[in-house]
């Protein structure tokens, strides 16, 4: 299967969230980039300020690993203008892929025009700059019905505004991994939620993020139709595949 090519190896904590100094937090990013070089992941998902560091290290290693970053992270409640400005900065820094957090709170309040506008503007900016765009819908904050509706909404926007030829450049993504749930409920991708997203957003691509920590789960996600997996457990997933000789 070569599961490494499905993996967006992820480290998105800022220093205060990780309870580290800025230098220590940067070292975490450096370790992730080194790991990505060693295991040849599809993409490194990091905060925008670390993009120049990643580009330098990947260039020196002769690797064409993609670099992604997050926009409006992790609450999603930033204004459309703020998200677009953040995205422009990330593009200027050299990001290949932009993972926007949908304003899911506005969506839940029924402010559909606001949500439609930010999705249209975010996709336009990304496609105009030849970038892949992913929309994080934060499944743990939504009901199953809301997951269906917002997945269909994103698909409909792509087809009506940008054409089927751009479907491969737009993802629906499950989660930030930072959402706080009650009673220890899952805060990220589950098989149920990814099945709903797949059924209602394909042929757009889909990304499972949040809670995918082992090889068996990753494989099942791919079997459900997932095109990319965002995880902080990439090394463990790849090593399990190597040890089982299932893809190498």
* Range(s) of the domain holding residue 35: 3-243
- The pLDDT-based confidence of 161 (bands split at 50, 70, 90) is very high
- The pLDDT-based confidence of 28 (bands split at 50, 70, 90) is very high
The one catalytic residue among 131, 155, 205, 207 = 207
Indicate whether 61 belongs to any domain.
Answer: yes
Closest by Cα among 29, 76, 71, 80 to 50: 29
Q: Can you give the pTM of this predicted structure? A: 0.96
Known catalytic residue at 99:
yes
The answer to whether 175 and 209 are in contact (CB under 8 A) is: yes
Known catalytic residue at 207:
yes
Query: Tokens at residue 80, please?
Result: 């459309």
Indicate whether 84 belongs to any domain.
Answer: yes
Indicate whether 228 belongs to any domain.
Answer: yes
Indicate whether 19 belongs to any domain.
Answer: yes
Indicate whether 81 belongs to any domain.
Answer: yes
Number of domains in the chain: 1
Indicate whether 248 belongs to any domain.
Answer: no
- The pLDDT-based confidence of 247 (bands split at 50, 70, 90) is very low
pLDDT the model gives residue 32: 98
Q: What CATH number is associated with residue 235?
A: 3.20.20.70
Burial class (CB in 10 A: 0-12, 13-18, 19+), 183: exposed
The one catalytic residue among 96, 99, 169, 205 = 99
Q: Residue 100, CB half-sphere, CA atoms under 13 Å: how many?
A: 35
Average pLDDT, the chain: 96
Known catalytic residue at 131:
no
């Amino acid at each position: 299967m070569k599961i490494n090519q499905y993996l967006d190896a992820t480290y998105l904590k800022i220093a205060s969230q990780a309870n580290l100094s800025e230098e220590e937090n940067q070292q975490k990013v450096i370790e992730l980039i080194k790991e990505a070089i060693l295991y040849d992941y599809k993409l490194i998902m990091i905060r925008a300020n670390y993009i120049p560091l990643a580009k330098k290290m990947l260039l020196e290693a002769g690797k064409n690993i993609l670099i992604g970053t997050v926009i409006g992270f992790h609450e999603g409640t930033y204004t459309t203008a703020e998200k677009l400005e953040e995205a422009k900065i990330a593009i200027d820094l050299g990001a290949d892929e932009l993972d926007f957090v949908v304003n899911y709170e506005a969506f839940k309040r029924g402010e559909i025009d606001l949500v439609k506008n930010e999705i249209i503007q975010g996709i336009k900016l990304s496609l105009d700059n030849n970038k892949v765009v992913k929309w994080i819908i934060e499944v743990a904050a939504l009901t199953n019905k809301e997951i269906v509706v917002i997945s269909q909404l994103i698909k409909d926007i792509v087809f009506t505004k940008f054409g089927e030829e751009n479907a491969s450049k737009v993802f629906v993504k499950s989660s930030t991994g930072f959402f706080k749930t009650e009673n220890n409920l899952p805060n990220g991708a589950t098989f149920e939620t990814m099945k709903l997203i797949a059924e209602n957003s394909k042929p757009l691509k889909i990304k499972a993020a949040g809670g995918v920590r082992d090889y068996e789960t990753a494989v099942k996600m791919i079997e459900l139709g997932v095109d990319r997996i965002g995880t902080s457990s990439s090394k463990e997933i790849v090593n399990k595949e190597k040890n089982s000789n299932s893809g190498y």
